[in-house]
Structure 1
Amino acid sequence: MSQQRNGQAAGVSDGAVFPDLPEATVARLPEYLRALHNLAETGFDTVSSEGLAAAAGVNSAKLRKDLSHLGSYGTRGVGYDVALLIAQIEHVLGLTQRRAVALVGVGNLGHALAGYAGFSSRGFRIAALFDADPGRIGERINGLVVHDIARLPEVVAAEAISIAVIATPAHAAQSVADRLVAAGVTSILNFAPCVLSVPDGVDVRKVDLAIELQILSFHEHRKSALTTLPSPTGDGSMKIRPTLDGEALAT
């Protein structure tokens, strides 16, 4: 099936019906987009479903199903047109314009996020910085001045901001979320280690680095346990080895 309609990627016309995508597919689209940009930068004009799947770290059947939701099926014997698929995914993800983002909390993590150059190449720009610490207010980071959190409503309105990042301590995050929602922000990326309560119509994504490390710790624990399972001894009996729950197992 052709991916091009009047010079545009399939499904990327202004009159196209917006696809109703499964959440799992939405979560994988940024990985496909990252892989496609890397392919484009290294000179690839087309890519097979197997090649794109390998670059994105998924299986090819899942990739083909995900892209079929967008109306993309590739061309038999050729694969996917890289530039057209980039345009299509960026359209669905709303990345055809650079979205303004507010960042609240410019401690160590917030300071690092404010200076991260990778946002601009992914379709975003940090448009405003906020903090409640008088010692931080007025500080300049990556060309932006840190505003007092009290100025949030006027700055959000002036910059047409609908997305915000919370990088505050946990005890302050809910209050910040309430302020953001009241100012008209409808999407929040939360780095604070807590669960936020927000009204319907406001989307929250949580990034908790400690949780991710704890999950990795589980996998390390499991791998360690698997290497110490009971093994036969020379006389046919079994050695006593620790198991995953820490209790001894013997036969």
Structure 2
Amino acid sequence: MTSRTPRPRERGIPEATVARLPVYLRALQALQERGTPTVSSEALAEAAGVNSAKLRKDLSHLGSYGTRGVGYEVEHLVHQISRELGLTQDWAVAIVGIGNLGRALANYGGFGTRGFRIEALLDADPAMVGQRVASLEVGHIDSLEEVVGSRGVSIGVITTPAEAAQAVATRFVEAGVGSILNFAPVVLNVPDGVDVRKVDLSIELQILAFHAQRRAAGDGQVAAAPGLELT
């Protein structure tokens, strides 16, 4: 019988906690690079942008409670979170859609140090096929199924135009890929058991615009108040 590490939600870790674990890990790795051996919950929470009570509760799901008066051992906590997120393994990734965003992702050097290996780049444009990007030769989308099987791809990244994304997702799923990162501005329909994370940059910008507008409105109200008093 083959054993495997339980996934976070199988161990009862809330999805909201799972979403914050990479943020904690990034803060801890920065501390590790500076040679910091221990960190208090308050300092780590501040670095991660959450309150300390929430951080302590999140980490308690991993069985990590820290030591009173000392805090958390940075190296140990990095290992714990990395293991929980599956980053102690090597995950093969295929990117479909090698436009500007696809190229940027392929050239990003941070994936390799975090347990992700860009194994294949695929595109439907004949002019793109055969080009080399980040030391990889771009293959044709027609080879997706063969690439997934032969190179052990576990995670598919979609950076295609919206109209092509669903077809690519369906092919990933049928080829056995259970995790998809979608940058296309469209909601994908996938079977139960397939995990999709959606990154929509336009939505994020709109949310920022909302907050910027609120701040500007607040500043305007403050500035207008003295004028009203003088009238």
Q: Any idea what the Cα deviations from partners look like across 1:135-194, whole Å, max 9, x if unmatched?
A: 111111111111111111111011111211100011111111111111111111100011
* 2:183 is equivalent to residue 191 of structure 1: yes
2:45 match: 53
* 2:148 is equivalent to residue 156 of structure 1: yes
Structure whose alpha-carbon radius of gyration is higher = 1
1:8 match: none
* 2:183 is equivalent to residue 173 of structure 1: no
User: SS at the partner of 2:95?
Assistant: strand
How do 1:60-139 and structure 2 match up within 5 A? 60-139=52-131
Q: Distance in 2 between matches of 1:176 and 1:101?
A: 14
Q: Which has the higher helix share?
A: 2
Q: Distance in 1 between matches of 2:227 and 2:82?
A: 59
Q: Distance in 2 between matches of 1:150 and 1:65?
A: 47
Q: Distance in 1 between matches of 2:64 and 2:153?
A: 32
User: SS at the partner of 2:177?
Assistant: coil
Pairing partner for 2:33 from 41, 51, 74: 41
2:138 match: 146
CA RMSD of superposed structures (Å):
2.0
1:241 match: none
Q: Distance in 2 between matches of 1:71 and 1:234?
A: 58
Unaligned runs of 5+ in 2: none
Relative to structure 1, is the Cα distance of residues 236 and 87 closer, same or farther in structure 2, using a 3 angstrom cutoff? same
User: SS at the partner of 2:11?
Assistant: coil
* Fraction of identical pairs, as percent: 64
Relative to structure 1, is the Cα distance of residues 227 and 154 closer, same or farther in structure 2, using a 3 angstrom cutoff? same
1:224 match: 216
Q: CA deviation at 1:232?
A: 5.6
Q: CA deviation at 1:220?
A: 1.2
Q: How many residues align?
A: 225
Please give the TM-score of this superposition, normalised by the length of structure 1: 0.85
Q: Distance in 2 between matches of 1:182 and 1:129?
A: 18
User: SS at the partner of 2:138?
Assistant: strand
Q: Any idea what the Cα deviations from partners look like across 1:86-138, whole Å, max 9, x if unmatched?
A: 11111110111121111000011101111110111221111111001101111
Unaligned runs of 5+ in 1: 1-13, 238-251
Give the partner amino acid of 1:47: V
Give the partner amino acid of 2:158: I
User: SS at the partner of 1:199?
Assistant: coil
Given that 1:19 and 1:70 are in contact with CA atoms closer than 8 Å, whether structure 2 keeps it comes out as no
Please give the TM-score of this superposition, normalised by the length of structure 2: 0.92
Q: Distance in 2 between matches of 1:235 and 1:208?
A: 45
Q: Distance in 2 between matches of 1:153 and 1:202?
A: 17
Bigger shift: residues 163-172 or 219-228: 219-228
User: SS at the partner of 1:228?
Assistant: helix
2:17 match: 25
